[in-house]
A and B are shown apart, each in its own frame.
Chain A
């Protein structure tokens, strides 16, 4: 039960962070392109970078867990 709530909260926070950054990217990019404002474009690209960094870190964690799983599986096969 605790794990379910924990994973639910973590996934909610991650989704929220991703959505906010994508929304800010969209708003700043639209404003920057319409007005030709470089500061707005910079803000848009900054939020796009944060969006990709969050997804990238999640992928790194997933790859790490996958490797750990394989390592444990290999070790358990060797031991048995």
Chain B
């Protein structure tokens, strides 16, 4: 409630230049959001195609490089499901990012055309959620990089 009041109180303080900046940021945000959603679609199609031709890919690896029976068993067993899990997580993150940015863009466009305070509140709400998601992903990425780095140098 307190944060909503803060946003609404500051609404009167966003002047014409600020509205232009917000509108422009919203346009770019919507473009990035649509790009994220397109990437999610491409990822889904690629995953389905790879999953459908897993046997052919395993055969190709065997013919080109040679592959141990253990590695082949992992690839056709747990590896396949690990791959699906990773792709599913990536798809979910891309869709969520894209959705939040697209909503941010559309809310900012509504605000710049109507100067409606609810649209401004929605604009910052979606932007805040997007930045929160980005922060969580950055933390996860940093921690996993440090673990991988330590594992590489300690083993």
Contacts and interface: CB of A to CB of B under 8 A. Distances in A.
Contact of A52 (B7, B13, B18, B25): B25
A46 B21 contact: yes
Interface in A22-80: 22, 32-33, 36-38, 41-42, 45-46, 48-49, 51-53, 55-56, 59, 63
A51 B131 CA distance: 12
Contact of A45 (B6, B25, B31, B32): B25
A32 B13 contact: yes
Contacts of B18: 38, 41-42, 45
A42 B29 CA distance: 17
A80 to B, nearest CB: 18
Given A49-B28, A59-B31, A42 B21 contact: yes
Given A36-B9, A52-B32, A59-B31, A42 B24 contact: no
Interface of A: 22, 32-33, 36-38, 41-42, 45-46, 48-49, 51-53, 55-56, 59, 63
25 contacts: A22-B131, A32-B13, A33-B7, A33-B10, A36-B10, A36-B13, A37-B13, A38-B13, A38-B18, A41-B14, A42-B14, A42-B21, A45-B14, A45-B22, A45-B25, A48-B21, A48-B22, A49-B25, A49-B28, A52-B25, A52-B29, A52-B32, A55-B32, A56-B31, A56-B32
B43 to A, nearest CB: 13
B70 interface: no
A24 to B, nearest CB: 13
Interface residues of B, number: 20
A70 to B, nearest CB: 11
A38 B32 contact: no
Nearest to B36: A59
B86 to A, nearest CB: 20
B67 interface: no
A63 B35 contact: yes
A12 B102 CA distance: 27
Interface string B97-113: 00000000000000000
